[in-house]
Structure 1
Amino acid sequence: MTGTSAIALVQGASRGIGLQYCKTLLQRNTVSTVIATCRNPDSSSGLNYLKNNNSSKLHVCKLDVTNEDEISNVYKYVSENFGKLDLLINCAGMLHPSGKGETSLRSVTGQDLMSTIHTNAVGPLLMAKQFSPLLLNGDGLVGVRSTDPSSQHCGIIANMSAKVGSITDNGLGGWYSYRMSKAALNMATKNLSIELGRGRKKVICVSLHPGTVDTDLSRPYHKNVPKLFTTEYSVNCLLEVIDSLSIADSGKFLTYDRTQLPY
C-alpha cells in the first residue's frame, strides 16, 4: 500500500475475518489509523485486547449495520477527526438468523430472509452511501503494482462476499437467504463501481470471496471442506488482492487468489 497515513475502517470487526483485518492492518506502518466497528464493542474480548495494545492507532466505534443513525454517527466521527477514508471493508454478515442455511424451500421464512439480506446487502450499501464522500478524498491505499496513473489516490470499498453468491456457479441450491443476500451484495458492488467511477475522483469497489475460513459462521459446515483457511491466511491473501487493485478492477468479484468469479 502506498501513502504514509492511510485510514482504514473495518465494519463488523468483533470477531472472525473482521477482527483479523484489524490485527493485520494495525501491523502496517503505512496505516496510521484503523477504525473498528461492531454492534457491541464491549462484549468483544478480541477487540478490547487490540485496543489496550494499540490505544493511539485503533479507534473502536459502536455501529449496527442495520441502524442508519449509528452509521451516520460513525461517519460524523470519522469526518470530524480524519476528513478522509482510504479503505472501507464491509465484513459483518450472517448465514441465517438460526445459524444454519436453509436446506429446502420449506425452511424459508420472510422474516429470516429479510433479516439476512438487511445485514449482508443493505447494510454495506448504506455504509457506502454514507462514507463515499470520505473515500473520494482517499489518497493512496492502492497503486503498488498498478501502472495506471488514474488508480493512484483512489479510495477502496471491499465488500466481503462469498462464492455461493454467484448465480452462475450455483449447482447445488439451498441456502436461500445467504445466497440471495450475497448475490444482492454483488449487484450493489457493481452499481457502486459505476457511480463512483464516473468523476475525476474515483472509488474502487470490489466484492471479495475469502475462501472457506475457520470462523463461527462456517464452522457447522467444515466436515466436507477440502481447503479450510485460518483467518490470518485468508486476510493476508485478501490484502494482497486489495494492494494490487487498479481502477480497471472496480466492479469485479474476486477470490482470495485474485481469480475473477462470475456473477
Structure 2
Amino acid sequence: MLKLVVAPPRLAMRSSSFRKAAFSTAAAAAAATRFQGGVSMVQGASRGIGLEFVRQLLKRSEEGRVVATCRNPDGAADLLKLKKEYENRLNILPLDVTNETTIEAAASAVSETYGSLNLLVNTSGILSIPNVLQPETTLSKVQKSSLLLTYEVNAVGPILVIKHMWPLLKMGGGSGTEREFAVVANLSARVGSIGDNGLGGWHSYRASKAALNQLTKTVSVEFSRKKDPIVCILLHPGTVDTDLSRPFQRNVPEGKLFTKGFAVQKLLNIIDNVKSSDNGKFFAWDGQEIPW
C-alpha cells in the first residue's frame, strides 16, 4: 500500500542554490566527454514505473549514467540490488518532493558528480493512502486536506525538482546523447485532461494532474522563450500494474492493464523521438496527443 512520510518543516531556501548549479561551458564539455550516453535522473525511483525507468535506462546503454532518487534509499531494496549490478553507473540519492531542501541537496550532489543532466523523469505521485486519502466518488467526500496533499505531491513537487535541476539541464542539453536538447518528462494521467473528463469523480487526483499539466506547459514556454536547450513533455503511461493502481484495477478492460516493462518501453520510445516542436505537449503511451 502507498505510504507517505510527513516531511519536517521547510527551511528557508538559500540564494546560493542556483549558484551551486551554475557551471562553465568548459565544465559542460568535460561532462559530455566523461559521460557518453548522457546523465539521466529518475525522481521517484524506489518502485513501480520509476524503478522500471531506472532499470531500462541502465540496460539500454553501456556508458550512460543514471541518478535515482527516492525518499528513503536505505529502504529501497530493489533499487539497491540494481546498484550492485551497475555500481559505477547508478547513483542513488535521497529526495522528498515535499521537502525542498532535499531537492536542493540532490541538485548539489548531481552537480558535484556529473556537472549536468540530459534527461529528467518525474514519476512520483499519490492516488490513495490507507486511512488518509481515497479518490472521491462524489463532491460530498471532498476534503481540504486531500486536495492540498495531492496537489503538493503530484504538482508542486515535480515543478520544484525542475526548478533546481534547471541549471543542470541547461548545461547538459543533448551532450553525450543523440538529441540536441535535454528532456524533462513528467508523468501525468489522462484523467488530468479537462477536455477528456466525461466521468467526473476523483476530484483531488484529477485536479493535481491538471495542475501539473499547466505548470509543465508554463515551464516549457519559459524555456523556449529563453532559448534553453530543454524540451518539456507530459506522459500518460496508461493503467499500469503498480501499487498506485492495484486497488482500482477491477474495472480495467481486458488488455488495458499494462506491465511496467511495456509501459516504460513505450514512454522511452516517445522520449527518444521527441522533437523540439513537441515542447509543452501531452502524450499518451501510444504517442497520441491528449487534449488539455
Place the TM-score, normalised by the shorter chain, in its bin: over 0.9
**C-alpha separation between the residues in 1 aligned to 2:128 and 2:284?**
22
Change (3 A) 1:123 1:23: same
How is 1:36-185 mapped onto 2 (pairs within 5 angstroms)? 36-97=68-129, 98=132, 100-140=134-174, 152-185=179-212
- TM-score, normalization by structure 2: 0.84
Shift of 1:52: 1.5
Greater CA radius of gyration, 1 or 2?
A: 2
Question: Which letter does structure 1 place at the counterpart of 2:85?
Answer: N
- TM-score, normalization by structure 1: 0.92
Paired residue secondary structure (1:10): strand
In structure 1, the gaps of 5 or more residues are 145-151
**C-alpha separation between the residues in 2 aligned to 1:60 and 1:161?**
24
Question: Which letter does structure 1 place at the counterpart of 2:39?
Answer: I
Identity %: 48
**C-alpha separation between the residues in 2 aligned to 1:99 and 1:230?**
25
Shift of 1:21: 0.1
In structure 2, the partner of 1:249 is: 278
How is 1:185-204 mapped onto 2 (pairs within 5 angstroms)? 185-204=212-231
Matched residue count: 254
In structure 2, the partner of 1:216 is: 243
Question: Which letter does structure 1 place at the counterpart of 2:106?
Answer: V
**C-alpha separation between the residues in 2 aligned to 1:143 and 1:5?**
5
Change (3 A) 1:142 1:79: closer
Change (3 A) 1:134 1:30: farther
Segment of structure 1 superposing worse, 216-225 or 231-240 = 216-225
The list of structure 1 runs, each at least 4 consecutive aligned residues, that deviate by more than 4 angstroms after superposition, is 141-144
Query: Could you say what the CA RMSD is over the residues aligned between the two structures, in angstroms?
Result: 1.6
Residue in structure 1 matching 2:47, options 12, 15, 33: 15
Question: Which letter does structure 2 place at the counterpart of 1:89?
Answer: V
**C-alpha separation between the residues in 2 aligned to 1:143 and 1:42?**
31
**C-alpha separation between the residues in 1 aligned to 2:111 and 2:191?**
35
Paired residue secondary structure (2:52): helix
